[in-house]
A and B are shown apart, each in its own frame.
Chain A
């Protein structure tokens, strides 16, 4: 349990682990129907109203661990049976808490005349008039007004989730950016990301014949994860799973920083392209800004492409904190380079499916990238790296970054920039760094543990430990 933030994550992990165990043993097809009973063995319910419902939902989770619904292109899916259909009625007066006071500050603060009183002087809110501004709740001296909101909808800043008529949550695929915020925030685990661990296990098994080699490209956010072991032990664990070797995605970050800074200087205005959820948002909601999106690959794809240039029999699995990367990997431009994507949650399940105890392993080495490639993992890092890359390449261009931390800041910045650029005006910045997750990748939905501040400190520390101190040195060292 200590490995995860929430019990929902732990449950998902148990399912993934059991599915992986069966897959390693080639017994999955015979036994996958028994997995719910392995996780909930007794007759007494442990989570829901009855043990049968628990197992029925677990069967859905098993399906998600085995790749989910094939015909749904979205990697984020609702499990309708698991959805508790939480109230989503907006602002309401809690009857017991309303003191029927004389002040009626709720009524006075409402600009829309939505607050009215019954014959007991108790406040009520007229849903037809209420605009959900929240003034009444802020002004009530007894905190008697609450906002009934579904945690998934609250987490989804791009408003891709709806719950019409009190039904199970439903995701609008045209709006969803696959960031996974809802996955992490749903207290019932009713929205989850599809897992492709079976493809990874299959790739690892096939590589036993020596005709192919599976490379693990790990995101720099890994340094803030698996804290029950050392990073070098995680590297050993990956090799014990059958990965040929482990390469830092941060080295791809160094490569991207050099190219992206040149592109910025050439075009004069650019947005980053490393966060797939940010890019997906631009594609679906602010297409005017598409010409300004960096044409460079993300560090994940850049690294995978480079590896395949050095080894034609390479298969590349990206392992990171991100659910949106699962979508990016399936884009036509990424497909030739990246073979599969795992989250840190899924990696933990893989380790435990093989009973690999990281703490007992020797420490291996992971050190190719520079500080700058590594700090791509946290908000502000890409901007720092771009400025450094301009300096190292002697390009006389001043990067004026606007660091957007979280998709809400990205949305505001894109709207403003799009209006200004359309009107022929240059905004006061020339580089929009967009990260959909608050804090950056270090706080991604697929992390084992989430902490914006602590994880940032960890990643900065990891950056400073890099042997190569400049971006160019890190990249030149692998250019043979």
Chain B
């Protein structure tokens, strides 16, 4: 599974760094680094609804607050 988090200006201001940190922490805690590839990109074309991320071609919106819950439902359940 490939997750690309937007690190461009709009998403950066809305907390992309915090989202990335949450994801990194959860990937490590769940020991799924071999199953989930995390990357960054400068724009996913949906700046109004940042923080944007792309999972295998599908665009999602998260916030630093919803990042953990999102990871559990959208990533963890599918990656394991």
Contact = CB atoms under 8 A, between A and B. Distances in A.
Nearest to B23: A480
Given A364-B47, A365-B47, A480 B9 contact: no
B5 interface: yes
A368 B39 contact: no
Contacts of A467: 12-13
Interface in A240-255: 244-248
B7 A215 contact: no
B65 interface: no
20 contacts: A244-B43, A244-B45, A245-B43, A246-B9, A247-B8, A247-B42, A248-B9, A310-B39, A310-B40, A364-B9, A364-B10, A365-B9, A367-B9, A367-B12, A368-B7, A477-B12, A477-B16, A478-B40, A480-B20, A480-B39
A11 interface: no
A398 interface: no
Given A244-B43, A367-B9, A478-B40, 11 more contacts: A247-B8, A310-B7, A310-B42, A311-B42, A364-B10, A364-B47, A367-B12, A368-B9, A467-B12, A477-B17, A480-B38
Interface string A227-263: 0000000010000000011111000000000000000
A265 interface: no
Nearest to B19: A480
Interface string B18-48: 0010000000000000000011111101010
A72 interface: no
A476 interface: yes
A476 B40 CA distance: 12
Please give me the 8 A-B residue pairs with the lowest Cβ-Cβ distance, nearest first.
A245-B43, A480-B40, A477-B17, A365-B9, A365-B10, A478-B7, A310-B41, A367-B9
Nearest to A303: B42
Interface in A294-346: 307, 310-311
A385 to B, nearest CB: 19
Contacts of B16: 477
A248 B40 CA distance: 16
Interface string B37-72: 011111101010000000000000000000000000
A307 B42 CA distance: 7
Interface size class of A (residues with CB under 8 A): 20 to 34
A358 B39 CA distance: 33
Chain A contact surface mostly: loop
A480 B4 CA distance: 9
Given A477-B17, A478-B7, A480-B20, A245 B42 contact: yes
Contacts of B8: 245, 247, 368
Interface in A456-480: 467, 476-480
Contact of A311 (B5, B13, B17, B41): B41
Interface of B: 5, 7-10, 12-13, 16-17, 20, 38-43, 45, 47
B42 A215 contact: yes
A468 to B, nearest CB: 8
Interface in A353-373: 364-368
A310 B5 CA distance: 11
A245 B40 CA distance: 14
Give the residue among A235, A246, A247, A477 with the most B Cβ atoms within 10 A: A477
B12 A480 contact: no
A311 B41 CA distance: 7
A259 to B, nearest CB: 19
Given A367-B12, A367-B13, A480 B7 contact: yes
Contact of B12 (A215, A244, A311, A368): A368
Give the residue among A311, A367, A478 with the most B Cβ atoms within 10 A: A478
A477 B20 CA distance: 9
Contact of A365 (B13, B17, B38): B13
Contacts of A235: 9
Contacts of A368: 7-9, 12
A235 B40 CA distance: 21
Contacts of A307: 42
Contacts of B12: 367-368, 467, 477-478
A477 B7 contact: yes
A230 to B, nearest CB: 14
Nearest to A306: B42
A188 B10 CA distance: 43
A125 B46 CA distance: 71
A235 B9 CA distance: 11
A480 B21 CA distance: 9
A282 B12 CA distance: 38
B39 to A, nearest CB: 6
Contacts of B40: 310, 478-480
A353 to B, nearest CB: 24
Nearest to B17: A477
A268 to B, nearest CB: 35
A368 B12 CA distance: 7
A366 B9 contact: yes
A366 B20 CA distance: 20
